[in-house]
A and B are shown apart, each in its own frame.
Chain A
């Protein structure tokens, strides 16, 4: 059989074998990429030195490079990638359209603007998380209000969402022009997304968010899977449509809010994770774990690219996630238009 059945005590589930293999492979690749990130780079570190640094016994320079620079940066990238990948898969599954990911339909831009406004108002970064969460939530609420009379029509949500993303971008630009130059450097992070100079504070932020939301998302995956059927089928199987949709959007907004607060929007990570995950696993949506792992991998690779450039040529990781995302966007558009023609 191509399906594994897992049963222990009051728990039971069935998973396609291929999905298990894909998840395991992604996990291994992720570990390898993470490991190479800790060891390589402009200041190569050996495995023994790395181990020493992790246990606090290395020389001060290595100690600082690993513990203050590389490790928080790596863990932040991992956490943010997991969060964006999961959020993307949730919204794409709910709206049955890969274009409907939180970074395409404005949730990320809203969270980024929320963060920028809070920093501009308070002059500090302490309240970035509530700002990002509020920005994301307000954007989601505005989007749903604008398309309310069209039901949950995915086409309308994507179009209105892209419009919102552009509008929010303009508002953000306007804010930037008004702010004094000292703040702008720091603010770029919440506009473009960046992983450079991450602190343990950012790491703690995104992982705290994951610790709360990931278990809820795993629980909600059961209901989300049922929401992929026609509405009448979902309802007669005993699932509440409204409740399922609201929970999905709320969880996605919270994940995006935490991710954006820690590293900015990182465009296209949420968008590419789901299509790549399903291209690999060929399993029906949703596969939250697979999409989260792909999101983390894409984020780490983008950050590798950002770090591989010579020092005078510093670009934020968000540029590179966009570089990875653009071809996938074109691929999705081609596949969709081909399907429509058939």
Chain B
């Protein structure tokens, strides 16, 4: 069994479930991309894995224990979430934001231990923002801001990282930069990453494992080379396409017809 898994999961916000009977093993130490059309329940699934919404039925499991039965702080030391388009409070500097990632390891008395300082310094260096540490977050460019938030979840020092559409609102250049950074960090820290992505081609290129959702169910899952096929694109997105061998590695590339 993997660290993070779900069993017969039904998810929703009152009313009819958005996701029905999801049973899933998230591969350890790999990048999993959750893809699918709008309103297929991608973000809902991620929010449940982050313990933000309770299952209507079934369980999300962390090492076999239902996440919702675990203590908030204990979960926060194991799983970090980068929410979609998060905003920093006014006046907050980059280092303040990254230091917030240390929260589950801190107490009101112990707010800046030497360990905190080391972890934050390393996170800033790994995302390339050491020089920007004292600048207000809101003065940064879009790409830098996203890296600052990634540094915050890195500082949380968890083995599992959940990213909700980390490339939304970013220019193409920054989208690639951000996902390259995620890949580099995943390899350096042996992280288990789950990210929701809009763009099937980015998912095919940057993920080890793809989970494709539609209408609240898993349509298929597996390595990009096995999953990203013309039949799958048709089934998930209702779209005719041609899948070609992409220029990067053996990642398939989808051309909509």
Contacts and interface: CB of A to CB of B under 8 A. Distances in A.
Interface of A: 1-3, 5-7, 10-14, 96, 218-223, 226, 228-230, 232-233, 235-240, 278, 282-285
A151 to B, nearest CB: 13
Nearest to A243: B72
A42 to B, nearest CB: 43
B92 A284 contact: yes
B57 to A, nearest CB: 22
B68 to A, nearest CB: 12
A5 B120 CA distance: 14
Given A219-B108, A235-B51, A238-B104, A230 B91 contact: no
B80 interface: yes
Contact of A14 (B52, B92, B99, B156): B99
Interface in B67-125: 72-77, 79-81, 83, 86-92, 95-96, 99-101, 103-104, 106-114, 116-117
16 contacts: A3-B95, A3-B134, A5-B112, A6-B112, A7-B112, A7-B114, A10-B109, A10-B110, A12-B111, A12-B112, A96-B89, A220-B108, A222-B106, A232-B86, A236-B76, A238-B74
B52 A235 contact: yes
Given A96-B89, A236-B80, 12 more contacts: A7-B112, A7-B114, A12-B109, A13-B111, A222-B108, A222-B111, A229-B86, A232-B52, A233-B100, A237-B103, A238-B103, A284-B92
Contact of A228 (B52, B77, B86, B89): B89
A235 B72 contact: yes
Given A7-B112, A222-B111, A226-B100, A233 B83 contact: yes
B104 A237 contact: yes
Contacts of B108: 218-223
Contacts of B50: 232, 235-236
Contacts of A235: 50-52, 72
B112 A237 contact: no
A230 B83 contact: yes
Contact of B100 (A2, A218, A229, A240): A229
Nearest to A282: B91
Contacts of B79: 236
B101 A237 contact: yes
Contact of B75 (A2, A223, A238): A238
The size class of the interface chain B forms with chain A is 35 or more
Contact of A13 (B89, B90, B112, B156): B112
Nearest to A281: B91
A304 B122 CA distance: 52
A12 B83 CA distance: 29
Contact of A226 (B47, B103, B109): B103
B80 A2 contact: no
B220 to A, nearest CB: 29
A284 B101 contact: no
A239 B71 CA distance: 10
B134 A1 contact: yes
Contact of A229 (B74, B89, B106): B89
Given A12-B110, A12-B111, A14-B111, A238 B76 contact: yes
A330 B38 CA distance: 43
**6 smallest A-B Cβ distances: which pairs?**
A238-B76, A238-B104, A238-B73, A222-B108, A237-B103, A236-B81
B58 to A, nearest CB: 21
B83 A239 contact: no
A120 B156 CA distance: 56
A278 B72 contact: no
Nearest to B92: A284
Interface in B49-71: 50-52
Contacts of B96: 284
Contact of A222 (B83, B87, B107): B107
Contacts of A238: 72-77, 103-104
Contacts of A13: 111-112
Contacts of B110: 10-12
A11 B109 contact: yes
